Each structure stands twice: as C-alpha cells, then as structure tokens.
Chains A and B, each alone.
Chain A
C-alpha cells in the first residue's frame, strides 16, 4: 500500500518586548514541548522542519505532516517563554504549498 504524506507549512511570527530568540532556541523549545505533551512517538510522526527564519522580523516557516498540524498548533499556543524571555508564537497562515507560504512571508517582510 502506498502511503502518501501531505505536508503543511505554517507561517509563524515571534513577538517579544526584548531581543528575538535564535532559531536554535525556538527549535529546541518546540521539540521539548512536543515530546512532553505528545511523547517521543508523537514527535517522530510530526516531521517538523524549520525554514526561512528571519531573526530581524521574527518570522519563519515550520513544515509538519498534515495529521500533526493540530498538535503543532497546540504546542505553538502553549509556549510563553524561551530562555526566560517572554514571547508569543503566532501561527499566521497555514498552507499545503511551500511557495504560497514563502510569498506570504514576503508580504509580511515588506
């Protein structure tokens, strides 16, 4: 049987009153939270991949499998701080096409 995995691309924005965190800190925080809430098994099925992060604007794209989208959204909503810096991670736009996600990012960065 052929199993087709469909990807979803979530455009997100980091909001903070202080310096924006580096991509590595955001990655590790999301992975940690995902493992704590949904377990190691859940994390392996998520297929998370971070791309196009702009440290000045605080915007980027997270890729995940379509079945893990709602779980990723839960995790993004749960995060309130990274390395003791208060932040909010806002999922701005979700799409199945990476080019569409990138063009949304371009509009944001204008």
Chain B
C-alpha cells in the first residue's frame, strides 16, 4: 500500500462561476465552506473590479488569503506571456499554497430582452467586469451575443419553459469560441417535480450542445453557501443530464480560468500595446 501521505485525490481544482454577492455577507462561513470544498476560483456576480479590490484590501478578508487574478498575474507574468503557461503557473501556485488561495473574479450577468439594450449595457460595463454573461429567452438576442467578443458566456437556465438553444446558435458559439454556462442549481431542489423538469430540459440541451461539440461550463449558482459544490461533485451531478464524466473534465475549472485570464490581461492597461484602440 502507498504511504497515506501520498493520496492523490488532493490535486483537483474547482471553480464556482456564479456566486451571488449576498453569499459574501457572512464571509467567515463562506470562506470556511469554500476552503473545505477546495474551491479556489470564485466569480462573484454584480461585483465590479472596484468591489473586488475593496474586498481584498478589507480588514475582514485579510485572514482568508483572498486575491484577484490581476494581482497574481502581476507577480508571475513576464514581458512576453503565453496564456497556457500562465494558466499552468496559476494552477501550480494554488496547489503549492495547499488550496488556501481564493481568487475573486468580477462578473456581470445581463438579462436583456432586446439587442439595443444589450448593446448599450455592454458598452457601459465592459471595462468594469472581468466576465460578462448574457441570459435571455430570445434566440435573436443570444445569436447577436454569440457574435460579440465582449460576451464570454451564454447562461442557460434548466427551468426555463422554452429552450432558446438551437443548432445554429451552437455553431455560432463554436465559431466564436464562446461557452454555454449550464446552471445546475435546480438539480438540488427538494421539489421533485422541479428536479424532473430540470433533468428533462438539461438532457435536451446537452443533446444539442453535444452533437455540435460546443464548449460548455458547469456551475451551481448557489443561493446559499450550503449549495456550493466542488468540481468533482458538479461533474457527478451533470451525469444526471447525460453528460459523460470525461466530457466535463475541462468544464469545472480550466475553461473558466482561461477565459478569466484572457479578460484580466486585456483589462490590465499595461498589456495594451500603444496605437491599438479597441472599438466599443
């Protein structure tokens, strides 16, 4: 038998991509649970870059080793950086700190019914958030969002009555390297009718996503701290939606970290080359 100290299950990294800012009110309980579950990457909704900096520098957060992506990047990045190497460096940093580092990412979810409103909101918010997701029941809005490079995810609610996803949208998403974000919190409901509806629509959604090989990520969107789940638990829960365990390997940490890193580097002014200005 191997030496018990070398148990190998310890190096699984996890991300929660849709934490509500209300969960941070009881920071002590939240950080205890996050530490036990080993969730190291947390995207907080409705939390802009200033809020993240405030949280990191606040006295309350000092004992929980909370940090931001930009802060880690500034410590590790060299002049010429490669995104995949940087991702590996950050993963190694988390593991070497014995999963005690918690990276907070700012995020905004836009729920707009028209393309005009979405355009307006995006131009207002693009510099304040690292991650921007779009949620809508209108396929036209989603198809427009799939084209736009400011949008990172399209959020899919398993409880919505009509499915706004079709193969054309999936193909657009694939073309523009975007991810679907599947929210699994309905699977934890105690109302079994709701769970049944969520499983049924989840299976339909994955059938379309899987057939077109579009990228997706999995998240819990916890209403309370007790609904947080780590990467392995999320992958097992996703099996209820017929998502095979091996297909969800990149969907609980790697894709989220890559997208967040790409955006953090873009927002970091020192990395923008002189003479290049991006259109709004």
Chain A 66-110: CB-based contact to B (< 8 A → 1; otherwise 0): 000010011011101100001110111110010110011011000
Contacts of A100 in B (CB 8 A): 1-2, 4
Query: Chain A residues near B233 (CB, 8 Å)?
Result: 73, 76-77, 90-91
Q: Which residues of B lie under 8 Å from residue A78 when comparing CB positions?
A: 187-188, 237
How many whole Å from B12's CB to the nearest CB in chain A?
11
Cβ of B21 under 8 Å from chain A? no
Q: Decide if A36 touches B239 in the complex (CB within 8 Å).
A: no
Interface hits, B27-59 → A, CB 8 Å? 29, 32-33, 36-37
Shortest beta-carbon distance from B241 to chain A in Å: 11
A86-B224, A90-B230, A92-B9 given; A70·B236 CB < 8 A: yes
Interface residue tally of chain A, by bracket?
20 to 34
- How many residues of B are counted as interface, with CB atoms below 8 angstroms from the partner's CB atoms? 29
Inter-chain contact A36/B192, CB cutoff 8 Å:
yes
Chain B interface, >50% SS class: helix
Q: Tell me which of B190, B232, B240 contacts A91 (CB under 8 A).
A: B232
Closest to A85 in B: B226
Q: Are A103 and B9 touching (Cβ within 8 A)?
A: no
A77-B9 in contact (CB<8A): no
Kindly report which residue of chain A lies nearest to residue B240, judged by CB atoms.
Answer: A74
Cβ of B145 within 8 Å of any chain A Cβ, yes or no, is: no
Would you give 15 A-B contacts (Cβ < 8 Å), ordered by A? A13-B36, A15-B36, A17-B29, A70-B236, A76-B233, A77-B234, A77-B236, A77-B237, A88-B226, A91-B232, A92-B9, A100-B4, A103-B1, A104-B7, A107-B5
Could you tell me which A residues sit within 8 Å of B by CB distance? 13, 15, 17, 36-37, 70, 73-74, 76-78, 80-81, 86-88, 90-94, 97, 99-100, 103-104, 106-107
Shortest beta-carbon contacts, A-B, top 6 = A73-B236, A77-B233, A86-B226, A103-B4, A77-B237, A93-B9
